[in-house]
Structure 1
Amino acid sequence: MYPVLYTDMSTDVVPATGAPSDPDAGSSPASPVSRRERVYLTIRDELMSGRVSPYERLTEERLAERHGVSRTPVREALARLLADGIVVKRESGLHLYVPSFGELTDLYELRITLELRGLTRALEDPTVHHDRTRLEGELDHWYGFRDDRPAPDAGFVTQDERFHFTLLDSSGNPALTQALAQTNRRIRSVRMYDYLTEDRMAATIDEHIGIAELVVRDRLPQALEALRAHVGASREVVMERAAAALEMTRMMAREEQR
C-alpha cells in the first residue's frame, strides 16, 4: 500500500510531518505507518466510503472522540484532506466535498486537453523533444509496480498524478504542467475512486508503461491515441463511481431530514 498522499508535483500540497516528541507520532522510527498517518487514512476511508453525509460538519472534537485519539492528529488529517480536496470549508465549517457532474465534466475536459497537448505540440513542431532520461526513469518506476503490484488503494492517485505530470512536463512547457497540477488538485478526491479494485490497478500500470514506451520510441501518433483512450477509460470509471457515491449521500441526506 502507498498511504502517503503527497508528492512534490504541486506547490499547494505540503506533507504533514511531526516532531518526535509528539505523542501521536509513531513510537518507533521503523514503524511503516505512524499513528497520525493511520488517523488520516481512517478518516479518509470513512469519508470516501459514503458513511459520512456531506451535511455533517467535521469537527476535531467529534472525530477525535470517534476514533479514540487526541485532536492533534485529527487536526493534521483534516488539513491534509482539505488539501486533497476531499474536504471543503464552508461558512459552517468543514464538510465532505461532493462535486457536481457539470464541474467534473468540465475539469476532465480540461485535463484531457492539457495532457494530449504535451504530445500534439511535439507532433506539430519537430524542434520539440521529450526528455527521454526522465521518461526512462519513470518507466523504471512503473516496471517496479508491474513486477510487484500494490494492493488497491485510493492513495495510489498520487502515483498516477506523478506519471502524467512527468509525461507532460518532459515535453518542455512548464505552463502546461502547472495547469495540469492545478486541475489534478480539483479532481483528486474523485479520481481516488479509480484505484479501489485490482483490475483498475492493473490497467493503470500496464497502460502507463505502454504510453511511456511509445513516447520513448518516438511513436507519438500511437502514444497520443493510447493516452486518449487511457484518460477516457479512467474518466468513465470515476464518473460511474462518483455517481454511486453522490446517490448514497443523497439517500443519507433524505434519511437525516426524516
Structure 2
Amino acid sequence: MRCEEGPLSEVYDRLRAEIVDGTLAPGAALVETTLAERYGTSRTPVREALRRLQQDGLVERADRGMRVRTRSPEEILEIYEARIALEATAAAGAAQRRSDFDLVRISRAQKTMTATPASDPAAMAESNRAVHEAIWAASHNGTIVDLLTRLNNHLTRYPWTTLSMPGRWEEAIVEHAEIIDAIEKRDSDRAYELAREHMTKARELRLRIYGDDATA
C-alpha cells in the first residue's frame, strides 16, 4: 500500500535492512527519487533516512549524492582500534561500578549465549552482542555505550560473524566467563586485559574472514 508521506522510521528500517543484508551492495548509489519510488513514499522521508544512516556510518557521500559505504581492511582496523580500547575500558568500568542487578543481567545474557546452538549464526551474533551490551551497561558510562553502539553499526555492513569460525564459539563463551568473573570480583585490571585480548582475537578473525572473502 502506497503512502505519500511514509513514516521516516519505516523507510529508515527498510533501507537499513537492505544495506545490512547486502540487497544494496557496498558502493551502490542511493538516489532519492529511485528510493522514494521503491518504498512508495516521497523524497522527504528518504532524505531524512539517508541522513540518519550517514550518522550511523552505513552510507557516505559520493561525487553525486549518497552511496552505501564501501568496505575495506583499513576500516576494519580503524573500527577495532577504537573498539578494543572502548570494550576494555567498559569492562574495567563494570568491575569498578557494577551493581548486583548488573551482575544478574550479565549472567542471564551469558546463560542465553551458552544455550544458543552453534548452528545458528544470527542467533550466535545476537546472544554474543547481548553479553557485550550488558557489560557496557554495567560500566555506567553513557558515552562509552554510545560510542560502542555506533561502532557496532559500522560492523553490521560486514555480514560475516567471527563466531562461525571453527572453535571460536566455544572459545568466546570461555573468554566471556573469565571477563565476567573479573567483573564480579571487581578486578578492573584483569577485566580490562581480558576484554582487550578478547576483542583483539575478534579483530584478527575479522580480517582473516575479509581476506578469504575477497579472494574467493
With structure 1 as the length reference, what TM-score do the two structures score?
Answer: 0.56
Match of 1:146 among 110, 114, 137: 114
Change in Cα spacing, 1:43 to 1:154, as seen in structure 2 (3 Å) is: farther
**Displacement, 1:215?**
1.4
Could you give the per-residue CA deviations for residues 143-181 of structure 1, whole angstroms, max 9, x where no partner exists?
123223371129936x54443343234233333333333
Paired with 1:53 and 1:178, the residues of 2 have a C-alpha distance of 25
Paired with 2:34 and 2:172, the residues of 1 have a C-alpha distance of 37
**Aligned residue in 2 for 1:105:** 77
Change in Cα spacing, 1:137 to 1:81, as seen in structure 2 (3 Å) is: same
Identity between Structure 1 and Structure 2 (%): 23
**Aligned residue in 1 for 2:5:** none
**Aligned residue in 2 for 1:225:** 193
Could you give the per-residue CA deviations for residues 213-236 of structure 1, whole angstroms, max 9, x where no partner exists?
331233544433331221011111
Which SS does the other structure have where 1:176 is aligned?
Answer: helix
Change in Cα spacing, 1:109 to 1:196, as seen in structure 2 (3 Å) is: closer
Q: Determine whether 1:90 maps to 2:62.
A: yes
Bigger mean CA offset, 193-202 vs 36-45: 36-45
**Displacement, 1:98?**
2.1
Number of equivalenced pairs: 203
Instruction: Kindly provide the amino acid, as one letter, of the partner of residue 114 in structure 1.
Output: L
Paired with 1:235 and 1:205, the residues of 2 have a C-alpha distance of 17
Which SS does the other structure have where 2:117 is aligned?
Answer: coil
Paired with 2:29 and 2:125, the residues of 1 have a C-alpha distance of 27
**Aligned residue in 1 for 2:152:** 184
Paired with 1:161 and 1:135, the residues of 2 have a C-alpha distance of 16
1:57-96 → structure 2 map (5 Å cutoff): 57-59=29-31, 71=40, 85-96=57-68
Contact 2:30–2:66 (CA under 8 A) maintained in structure 1 = yes
- What residue ranges of structure 2 are gaps of 5+ in the alignment? 1-7
1:209-220 → structure 2 map (5 Å cutoff): 209-220=177-188
Which SS does the other structure have where 1:193 is aligned?
Answer: coil
- What residue ranges of structure 1 are gaps of 5+ in the alignment? 1-15, 19-35, 249-258
Instruction: Kindly provide the amino acid, as one letter, of the partner of residue 155 in structure 2.
Output: R
Paired with 1:179 and 1:163, the residues of 2 have a C-alpha distance of 17
Q: Determine whether 1:114 maps to 2:83.
A: no
With structure 2 as the length reference, what TM-score do the two structures score?
Answer: 0.64
